[in-house]
Structure 1
Amino acid sequence: MDVPSEIRRSFELFAAGRLDEAANVAGEVLAVSPEEPSAHRVLAGVFLRRGQLDQALESARRAWEIDPSVPEAAANLAAILVEARQGEEAERMARRATEMAPDFVSAWVNLGLAFRCQSRQHDAVDAFRRAIQLQPGHHGALANLGNVLCEVGEYAEAAECSRRVLQMRPGMVAAENNLGNALLKLGQIDEAILAYGRALAGGPGDAEIEYNLAIALEQAGRLSESEDVQRGVLSRVPGHARATNNLGVALKLQGRLDEAADQFERAVQHSPQSTPAFANRLSTMLCRPSGSPEEILVAHREACDSLWAGLELPTVDDADPRSVDAPLRIGFVSPDFGHHPVGRFLLSGFESFEAHRVQAVCFSDRIQVDAFTDRFRSAAEDWFDIRGRDDSVVAGWVRDAGIDVLVDLTGHTGRHRLGVFARRPARLQLTWIGYPSTTGLPAIDGLVADEVLVPEGAETAFCERIIRLADGHISYLPPVDAPDVDVGSGSGEVVFGSFNKLDKTTPVVLATWARILLGQPGSRLVLRSRGLDDPRVAERFGGLLAEAGVDRDRISLHGWVSHAELLAGYGEIDIGLDTFPFSGGLTSCEALWMGVPVVTWAGRRMCGRQTASFLSRVGLEDLVVGSEDKYVEKALELAGDVALRRSLRQELRGRMRDGPLCDGQRLATEFTSAVERAWREWDVL
C-alpha cells in the first residue's frame, strides 16, 4: 500500500463530504500502519461530522500522542475539545498549534473558539482578528469575529463582518443570523427581522434562529407573532430555557401575567443559574396583585441565594486608607447610562456632583450609545466599558479602581450586574433608582429612597437599610423635544388616559378603570403602549373593558410611536390614571410635564408608590389615595372639577421645573450627604 497516497485520498474524500469512503480508506491505512497520525486525524474529522464526539476525541488525542510535532494535530484536537465544551484544554492545544506555526490561521480560529468556550469574549476577539490579519478572506474567522463582537458590544463592526462574509458566501445562514443579532442590538429591528427571515429561508426550522426572530418580533411590538414563534421552538425543543424565558416575556408584555409566571418558573427549572429568568420572575411578581411586601422580600432573597450564595468573598482590610478630606470614589453600575428612565432620573444630579466631595466612576454596560451616554461619560471621573465582561472580572476592576461606594442602578431588571455586588468589591454598596423594590441581596447595604416611596415603618420589606432623601430620590430631566402644553378649555367630554406598559395594566386595573368610565357618562379612555397595535393584544384589552360594561367606541387603543409623538398624545388627555400595584415611573413624570394630573393608588409596595412620590413634590398629595374605592372617587371628583383641571394644565410644568422634582443640584447634594453619613456611621464590613 502506498500510505502517503492513500492518506491524501482519504483527506480528499473527507473534504468532498464522502465520509464513509474517507473513513474506510483511513481504516485500511491503520490496518497496515497503526501509528499513522494522519489517518487518526481523518477518523477524528469523520466522527466529529457524524456527531460521535467521544470517538472523535479519542482519534484526535491518538493523532497528537503519536506525533506532537504536527501543528494540525494540535489544532484539530483543540477544535474537537471546543465541541466537547472543554475550553481550558482546547486553549492549551490551540496555543501549542500557534506556537509551532504562528501563521496557521485555523489554529488562531480554534484559539478564539476556545476562549469563547470559557466566556473570554475579548480574548476571542483578539484571536479572530489575528486570523483575519493572516488571511483577510477567511470567512470562518470573519463569521466568528462578527458573532463575538456582538457579545462585547461592538455591534456596528459585528454587522460589517457579517456583511463581508455574505459578500463572500451569499446566503450563508450563520452570517445572516449574526447580522440579525447585530442589527437588533443597533435598534434596527425591521432590518433584523429581514435578516432572520433570510437565515430561515436557508435553514428552515433552525430553532436558534427562530428564537432570535421571536425576540425581534417582541421588540417590534408584534407580541402575538413572537409568542407563536417561541411556542414553535418549544414544541421541537421543550427544554430550551431561553425560549421558555422569552415566551414568558412575550406573555408578560401582553399583560398575561399568570401565564408568564408559569413560563419563568419553567425557565428557572431548566436553567437554575439564569439571571434573566429569575429577574423576570421577580418583576412579574411586582406586577401581580397578590403577594405582600414581606412575601416579595422572601422571593428576592431566595433568588439571590440560588444565584450567588456559594460565592467566596474576598478578604477586606479593616483599615480605611482614605484621607478624611478625600472625596468618596463612588462607582455606578448600569446598562442604562443613556436615553432610559434611569438616565433621565439621574443625569442632572450626576452632572451636579461636587468634585471635592465625589469622584463619580461609571461601570457601563450600555448597548446603544447616545447623547445622554456622552454626557454621563463627560461628567464621570473614570469610565469602564464592561460589555461582555464576566461579573468576576468587573468586580476585580471595581477593587482595582479603589471604589469606596458602589451603587447599583438596575436591581433585578434587564442586563443587571448584581453578580458583581454579590462579590463584595466595595466596602459600602447601595441600590438606587433602577428597581422599586428590595434586591434581596445581603451584599447590598442600603437602598436610596424617600419618605413617600418607603414610609417609616415599611423597613421590614427590605433586606437593605433605607436611606431617605428629603425632597425625593430622583431628579427628572425634562425632554427637549416636548411640545408646549395644550391648555385647551378643559370643558367637554373627559378623556382619561394611561401610557403605561401592558404588564402593569392588569385585568384588575382595567376593571377599576371601567368603574370610572361608567361613573362619568360620555368620558373616554385612551391607552397607548407597545403591543396595542398587535390586533390580538388590542382585541384582548378591548374585550376585558367590554366585559366590564364599557362600549368599544369609548376606548382608543394605540401602539407605540416616537417619543415626540408620545408626548404630543397627552394633548387629548385630561386625567392620567395610574396603574397598581406597580405604578408609573417615567410615564407619570411625562404626564405631569405635559400638564396632565395623575390619580394614583399608593399601596404598601415600594413599586406602587413612585407616582405618589412625584405628586408630593408638586403639591398634589390630594391625588394620592389608599384604596380602590378612593381611587375611583378621586378620579371622578377631578373629572367634575373643570376649574382645577384647567389651572393644573397651566401650572404643572412650572411647578415641576421650579421645584425639587427637577432640581439636579438638590439631588446631588442630598445624595452625597446621605452617602457620606452612611460611610462614616455604618459598620458594613
Structure 2
Amino acid sequence: MMNPQVHFLLNKALESLGNSNLDSAELYLNQASKLQAHNPHVLGLLGIVYTQRGNYPDALKFLNDSLRILPKNPLTLSNLGNVYASLKNFENAIEFYKKSIKVNPNYVEAWSNVGNALQEIDCFEEAITHYDKALSLRPDFAEAWSNKGNALQALKRFEEAVIHYDKALSLNPNYAEAWSNKGNALQELKRLDEAIAHYDKALSLKPSYLKGYIGKGNTLVELKRFEEAVIYYDKALEFKPDYAEAHSAKGNALYELKLFDAAIDHHNKALKLKPDYAAGWINKGVTVNELGDYDEAIVCFSQALNLKPDVFWVDGYLIHAKMKICNWSELSTHLESISEKIMGNQKVIRPFALLSLVDDPVLHKKAAHTYVQYYFSSNSELGSIPKYSKKERLRIAYFSPDFRTHPVSHLTSELFELHDRSRFEVIAFSLQKTPPGDQMNVRLRNVFDHFIEVNQLSDLEVAKLARHLEIDIAIDLAGHTQHSRGGIFSYRAAPIQVNWLGYPGTTGIKFIDYLVADRTIIPISEQHMYSEKIAHLPNTYMVDDSKRTPSDRIFTREECGLPRNRFIYCCFNNDFKFNPFILDCWARILLATQNSVLWISENNRNFQKNILAEFENRDIEPSRIIFAGRVDSMGDYLARYRLADLFLDTYPYGAHTTAIDSLKAGVPILTLMGQSFASRVAASLLNTIGLGELITFSQEEYEALAIDFAMAPNKLEDVKLKLRDNLQITPLFNTSLFAKNLEAIYLKMYDHYQLDLEPNHISCD
C-alpha cells in the first residue's frame, strides 16, 4: 500500500508537471523518494521530469528502474518510447510504444506516438494506419488528426491533408500547430495567399511558434517576396538563435536576392549548429556552386549524400559539379546507379544535368517526367482556360530568364524584330532581373511590343497576367535550364504552350503542348520519345541573329598562344560537356596527328588543371592543350574562331550556339550524332548548311575523319570553300526565312486550337 504522504506528494508533482513547473515537480518527487525509495510511480515521474529537461541519461535510468519494479506499466513503457524518440532512436521508440500497446491495446497516445515515430523514418503509410487506430479509439483526438494530415502531406496527398487539418481545427480552433500544418499543405497546393493567412492565424495563437515563421517565410519565397521572407526567418531566429533550419532557409532567400556571401554565412551557421543537416549541406552546395567554387560544392553534396543517401536530387547536383571540373572519379559507377534510380522513378537528378551524361532520350524523358511530377503537377486553381475568340493578330509571348547578354538572346534577338506585326503581337515575359546597363537587354526592350518584368511575381500571378492579356501562344525559352519557371505553365498561362530553343530535350510536362524541332533532331519515327507533340520546322530548329557577325580584327596565332605551323583543332563548349569518352577520342586523334594542338575554352581553373592531367594520362603533352581566354566583344569572339582549322564536337551533349558560331566564322565542325536531342544539334546545322559529310555516326568514323582532315589539308580546304559558299545560299543564317517558317508553325498550332482539335504533330513543309 502506498504511503499517504507519498500519495500526496505524487499528486503535487503531477500538478506541477501540468503547469510545466519542473523544479517544483522534482522537489516533490525527491521528497517522496526519501519516504519510499523504490516506488515505481515516483521513479516513473522522475523519468518524465528528466525527459522534459532534456537529461536523457537520467530519464532512461529512472524509467528503467521503474520498469524493473512494475514491468507492465504501459505509461512507463510509452515514456521510454518518448525518450528514445527525443534521442532520434526511432526504432527503439517504436519498440517501446508497441510494448505499451500490447499491455493496453486501448492506449490512444501510444498508437499516435507510433505514428509519429514512423513518420520520422519515412514510413508514412504505416504511420497512417496507427493514427487511424488512435482515432477509432478517440475520434476527438485533434493531435492525431493533425499528425495524420502531416503523413498525408508527406505522401503528397495534400487535399486529403487539408481535410484532416480542418477536422483537427474543428475540434480545437486554437490549435496553432494545425493552422501552421494546414498552411504547409496550402503552400504545396499553390494556394499561397490562403497559406499566408493560416500561418498568421497560427502565430497569433502562438507567437513563439517557430515553424509558423519558417512556413510563412517559405511561402513568401514562393511568392518571390524574398525581402519579406528574410524578415520572418529573422523573427524565428529572435526566438531561437540556434535554429539551424531558419538559418538555412534565410540563406536560401539571400541566395535568391543574389547576396551570396551573406547566404553562405547563414548556411555555415546552420551546419555548425546541425552538422547532420543534409538539406543544409545541399543549400550551401547550391550557393557555392553558383559562385563557381565547384570543389566546395562537391564537398557539400557528398556530405549530404553520406548523411541521407536517398535525399532528393543530390546525386545529380554532385555529378554535375564534378563534370564542371572534369572530376570523373567513379563516373561509370555513378551513371549506372543514377540510371537505375531514374527507371525506378526516384528523384535522383534534374533533367538538364542528365543531358551531358547519357545519350538516351527514353531516360531523358523518364527523368524529366519524375522531376515535373514532383515540382509542377498541373495546378487547378485558375481552372480550365477559357476559349479565346479568334484574333486578327495573334498574341504570342516569349518567357525567358535570359533577356540579357546570353546565348539564347544572341540567337533570337533579330527574330523578335522580324516577326510580322500585321499578324503577331509579340510580348516578352522577363523572368529574371537584368543587371543595369546590359546592352542586349536594352535592345530587347525596344524590340518587343510589350516587355514585362515578372521576376517579383509568383508563378500563379504570372499565369493570371498572361490570361488577363489573353496570350494565345506561350513559348518557354528556358525549359529545365537555370532560373526557368515551369510552374507558370502548370497553371495553363495560355491555351497553347510551346517548348523551344532554350532546353534541348523533352520537358516531360503534359501541359506543354508542342516542342519545336526539325527532322534531324527528332525524326518522325522517334516522336514518341517526347512528351510534347513535335512541331517540325523545314530546316533547322535553331535561329541566329544575322547582325551578329565576325569583326574585321585579324587575330594572330601568337597573341592567342597558338603555334604558328600546327593544325588547330578547337572546341569551345562548356566544361560539363567534356567526359572520358570524348577525351579518349581526342587523345587518339592527337596521337595520330603529331603536328596538331587542341584549343579549348578555359572554363574554370580546376577544369584546366584536371583536364590537363586527364590528357597526360592519355600520353598527351600539356603543351598541346591550349586554353582560350574570354573575349568581351562578340564580333572579336567570332573573328578569333578563324584561327582554328576544325571544331571537334563533344558527345553526347554537343555544340549548340558554339556550333552556330563556328560555322558563321567559316570553321567546319565535325560531329558525332547520337540518339538524343542534345547530341544532334550540330548535325541539324550541318544538314541545313549542306555539309552533311561532317556528320559521323560512330566513334571510329569520327576519329578517322578528324585525323584525315589534319593529314590532308586540301580536303579540309575544299570543305571550307563549300562552307563559305553555302553561308550565302543555304537557309541556316537566313533569319527572315526562319521567322516566316516559325510563324507558319504558330499559325498551324492556332488553327488546331480554333478548330477545337487536340495538339498533334505538325510541320510547315
Query: Please, what TM-score do these two structures have when normalized by structure 2?
Result: 0.63
Aligned counterpart in structure 2 of residue 448 of structure 1, from 516, 529, 532: 516
**AA partner of residue 20 (structure 1):** I
1:21 is matched by which residue type in structure 2? V
Q: 1:424 to 1:114 in 2, by over 3 A?
A: closer
Q: Distance in 2 between matches of 1:43 and 1:562?
A: 67
Shift of 1:308: 6.6
Letter in 2 for 1:533: R
Shift of 1:420: 7.9
Q: Alpha-carbon deviation of 1:350?
A: 3.5
Q: Deviations over 1:370-403 (max 9, x none)?
A: 567795796448777797658xx99898778755
Matches within 5 A, 1:109-124: 112-116=183-187, 118=189, 120-124=191-195
Identity across matched positions, percent: 20
2:248 maps to which residue?
177
Q: Quick one: which amino acid aligns to residue 258 of structure 1?
A: S
- The DSSP-based 3-state class of the residue aligned with 2:313 is helix
Q: Give the SS at the match of 2:669.
A: strand
Task: Show the counterpart of 1:349.
Answer: 415
Match 2:49 to one of 10, 16, 21: 21
Is the Cα contact below 8 Å between 2:537 and 2:741 reproduced in 1? no
Residue 269 and residue 615 in structure 1: after superposition, are their counterparts in 2 closer, same or farther (change >3 A)? Answer: closer
Matching of residue 409 in structure 1 with residue 480 in structure 2: no
Q: Which SS does the other structure have where 1:488 is aligned?
A: coil
Q: CA deviation at 1:328?
A: 2.7
Report the equivalent of 1:611.
Answer: 682
Does residue 431 in structure 1 map to residue 496 in structure 2? no
How many angstroms apart in 1 are the aligned matches of 2:259 and 2:167?
40
Structure 2 residue 598 is the aligned partner of structure 1 residue 525: yes
For 1:574, give the aligned amino acid: L
Question: Partner letter of residue 468 of structure 1?
Answer: L
Residue 552 in structure 1 maps to residue 610 in structure 2: no
Residue pairs, 1:162-241, within 5 angstroms: 162=233, 170=241, 172-241=243-312
- Residues 345 and 197 of structure 1: CA distance in aligned 2, closer, same or farther (over 3 Å): same
- Match for residue 55 of structure 1 among 87, 91, 109: 109
Relative to structure 1, the CA distance from residue 401 to residue 222 in structure 2 (aligned partners, 3 Å threshold; closer, same or farther) is same
Question: What are the within-5 Å matches in structure 2 for residues 78-477 of structure 1?
Answer: 80=147, 83-84=150-151, 87-89=161-163, 91-92=165-166, 112-116=183-187, 118=189, 120-128=191-199, 142-159=213-230, 161-162=232-233, 170=241, 172-253=243-324, 254=326, 256=328, 258-265=332-339, 267-268=341-342, 272=345, 274=347, 277=349, 279=351, 283-284=355-356, 287-288=358-359, 296-297=361-362, 300=365, 304=369, 322-323=389-390, 325-330=391-396, 332=398, 340-350=406-416, 352-360=418-426, 366=431, 369=434, 375=444, 379-380=449-450, 389=459, 402-411=470-479, 413=481, 428-437=496-505, 446-450=514-518, 453=521, 464-468=533-537, 473-476=542-545
Matched residue, 1:583: 654
Alpha-carbon distance, 1:433 to partner: 0.9
Offset from partner CA, 1:183-231 (integer Å, 9 cap, x none): 3334454553343222212222322212222333444444444344433
**Kept after mapping to 1: 8 A contact 2:146/2:165:** no
Q: Which residue of 1 aligns with 2:102?
A: none
Distance 1:17 1:502 in 2: 65
Distance in 2, Cα, partners of 1:521 & 1:16? 88
Q: Output the CA distance in 2 between the equivalents of 1:519 and 1:176.
A: 56
Separation in structure 2 between the aligned mates of residue 108 and residue 117 of structure 1, nearest angstrom: 15
Alpha carbons 1:273, 1:307 under 8 Å: kept: no
The whole-number CA distance in structure 2 between the counterparts of 1:483 and 1:124 is 55
What are the Cα deviations for residues 587-612 of structure 1, in whole angstroms up to 9, with x where unaligned? 3345567x573523252544334335
Question: What secondary structure sits across from 1:497 in the alignment?
Answer: strand
* SS of residue matched to 1:20: helix
Distance 1:346 1:112 in 2: 42
Runs of at least 5 residues in structure 1 that lack an aligned partner in the other structure: 26-41
Match of 2:573 in 1: 500
Distance 1:77 1:335, change over 3 A: farther
How far 1:283 moved relative to its partner?
1.9
Tell me: CA distance 1:207–1:663, structure 2 relative to 1, closer, same or farther (3 Å). same
SS in 1 for 2:573: coil
Change (3 A) 1:334 1:527: same
Distance 2:364 2:187 in 1: 33
| CA distance in structure 2 between the partners assigned to 1:213 and 1:633 by the alignment | 48
Task: Tell me the distance in 2 between the aligned counterparts of 1:460 and 1:319.
Answer: 29
Q: What is the match of residue 34 of structure 2?
A: none
Output the CA distance in 1 between the equivalents of 2:190 and 2:21. 35
The 1:602–1:466 alpha-carbon spacing in structure 2 relative to 1, beyond 3 Å, is farther
Following superposition, the deviation at residue 320 of structure 1 comes to 7.3
CA distance in 2 between partners of 1:313 and 1:147 (Å):
19
| Shift, 1:500, TM fit | 1.5
Distance, in Å, in 1 between the alignment partners of 2:247 and 2:520 is 50
- What is the RMSD of the two structures over their aligned residues, measured on CA atoms? 5.9
Partner of 2:670, secondary structure, is strand
TM-fit CA distance, 1:676: 0.9
Aligned to 2:42: none
- Counterpart of 1:577 in structure 2: which amino acid? L
Q: Distance in 2 between matches of 1:45 and 1:250?
A: 41
Residue 88 of structure 1 and its aligned partner are, at CA, apart by 0.8
- 1:597 counterpart letter in structure 2: V
Q: In the alignment, residue 588 of structure 1 is paired with which amino acid?
A: A
Contact 1:469 1:670 in 2 (8 A): yes
Equivalent position of 1:597 in the other structure: 667
Deviation at 1:134, TM superposition (A): 10
Residue deviations 1:585-643 (CA, integer Å, cap 9, x gap): 233345567x57352325254433433555678x6848944341223434566699899
In 2, the alpha carbon distance for the partners of 1:358 and 1:216 equals 40
- How many pairs are equivalent? 633
> 2:663·2:669 contact (CA, 8 Å) conserved in 1?
no
Higher relative contact order (CA 8 A, sep 6+): 1
Residues 152-181 of structure 1 show CA distances to partners (whole Å, capped at 9, x for unaligned) of: 433444446545665775554223212322
In structure 2, distance between residues paired with 1:544 and 1:432: 36
Q: Which has the larger radius of gyration?
A: 2
What TM-score do the two structures reach when normalised by structure 1? 0.69
**How far apart in 2 are the matches of 1:332 and 1:503?**
27
Alpha-carbon distance in 2 for matches of 1:317, 1:88? 23
- Out of 637, 643, 649, the residue aligned to residue 574 of structure 1 is 643
Q: Report which stretch shifted further, 394-403 or 668-677.
A: 394-403
| Structure 1 residue aligned with 2:18 | 10
| Partner SS for 1:277 | coil
CA positional deviation for 1:551: 0.7
In 2, distance between residues paired with 1:222 and 1:643?
44
Q: Which runs of 5 or more structure 2 residues have no equivalent in the other structure?
A: 1-7, 27-46, 54-78, 95-107, 117-130, 154-160, 559-563, 760-765
SS in 1 for 2:544: coil
Whole-Å Cα distance in 1 between the matches of residues 232 and 424 of structure 2? Answer: 41
Cα distance change on mapping 1:638 and 1:505 into 2, 3 Å: farther
